[in-house]
Amino acid sequence: MSMACRIVGRIVVALALSAAAQAALATGAEPDKDLKVDPAPCLAAAAANDDDKTIAVCGPLIGNAKTEKADRLKALLARAAAYDRKNNVERAIADYDAALMLDTTQADAFNARGELWRKKGERRKALADFGAAIKLNPDHVAAKASHRSLAQELERAGALIAVAGKPSFNCAAARRAVEKAICARPELADLDREVHGSFVRAVREARDSREAKALQREQDEFIARRNAQFGKPGYDLQKAMRERLQRINGVDGY
């Protein structure tokens, strides 16, 4: 046999071996990374409220390209709830985001994500999610309660911003040195407003007229003492106002 024939023969054998190797890999020599993952372990872990296992076994299901949409959605919701219970807010929100991209009709997911936004202090995002949940399910009790309480919270916050740094009296009419001092310092102005507001509430909630008159007398005495003592050595206006606030509200507050 000539040298040329032997070389051609070797090339043919090499190509055949290469093709056989590729066929072996394709037929099971290496696991197929896209094989479907059984959703049962993920769902079982979620049903058992085993958060660590839920996170561990639902991850491969979520990341597998061959996972059915319905199974991926269930896995995302299960893992989001597990992250939420473990106080991993960012990851829980990310999973709810992904779940809602798959299915925008999940009222419970909107409500759950709303609670997470609220926990982060993102109150307007939370309000939007509660509203979306209610739009999908007008009878969603949790979303309705959260939406109502958060709306009131935002309203109160807006009201507080409007009066921030303003005392209970009109600074334009202030004549006493102590009143001018209160108007000049926002922290004292806020404290004065708190004292006055707590006093008004206490009078309104008094059991009878005798108790209401006693509260009024105490408040008048505090104001008179404040006016007389301000500016004298050793008198701490802020301390006196805090003590008065605690006196009205009690040690534990309202």
Residue-range definition of the domain harbouring residue 239:
171-249
pLDDT recorded at residue 168 = 87
Q: Is residue 191 assigned to a domain?
A: yes
User: Does 152 score more than 80 pLDDT?
Assistant: no
User: Does 100 score more than 80 pLDDT?
Assistant: yes
Asked whether residue 120 falls in the same domain as residue 59, the answer is yes
Q: Is residue 146 assigned to a domain?
A: no
Q: Is residue 26 assigned to a domain?
A: no
pLDDT in tens, 212-232: 999 999 999 999 999 999 999
Q: Is residue 71 assigned to a domain?
A: yes
Give residue 251's pLDDT band: very low, low, confident or very high (50, 70, 90): low
**Between these two residues, 111 and 34, which has the higher pLDDT value?**
111
Asked whether residue 176 falls in the same domain as residue 133, the answer is no
pLDDT recorded at residue 124 = 86
Give me 118's structure tokens: 């609220």
Asked whether residue 108 falls in the same domain as residue 48, the answer is yes
Asked whether residue 58 falls in the same domain as residue 108, the answer is yes
pLDDT recorded at residue 17 = 44
Q: What is the mean pLDDT of residues 130-149?
A: 92
Closest CA to 96 of 65, 127, 129: 129
**CA angle in degrees (0–180, nearest 5) for 232-238-240:** 70
Asked whether residue 185 falls in the same domain as residue 114, the answer is no
pLDDT recorded at residue 163 = 65
Asked whether residue 61 falls in the same domain as residue 133, the answer is yes
- Distance between CA atoms of residues 54 and 196, nearest Å: 53
pLDDT in tens, 16-67: 444 444 544 444 444 445 578 899 999 999 999 999 999 999 999 999 999 9
How does 66-87 read in b/e, with b if 16+ C-beta sit within 10 Å? ebeeebbbbbbbbbbbbbbeee
Asked whether residue 129 falls in the same domain as residue 176, the answer is no
Asked whether residue 46 falls in the same domain as residue 122, the answer is yes
Q: CB-based contacts of 125: which residues, under 8 Å, 6+ apart?
A: 114, 117
Domain count, the chain: 2
Share of the chain above pLDDT 70, in %: 81
pLDDT recorded at residue 149 = 86
User: Does 86 score more than 50 pLDDT?
Assistant: yes
Q: Is residue 101 assigned to a domain?
A: yes
pLDDT recorded at residue 165 = 79
pLDDT in tens, 158-179: 655 666 778 989 999 999 999 9
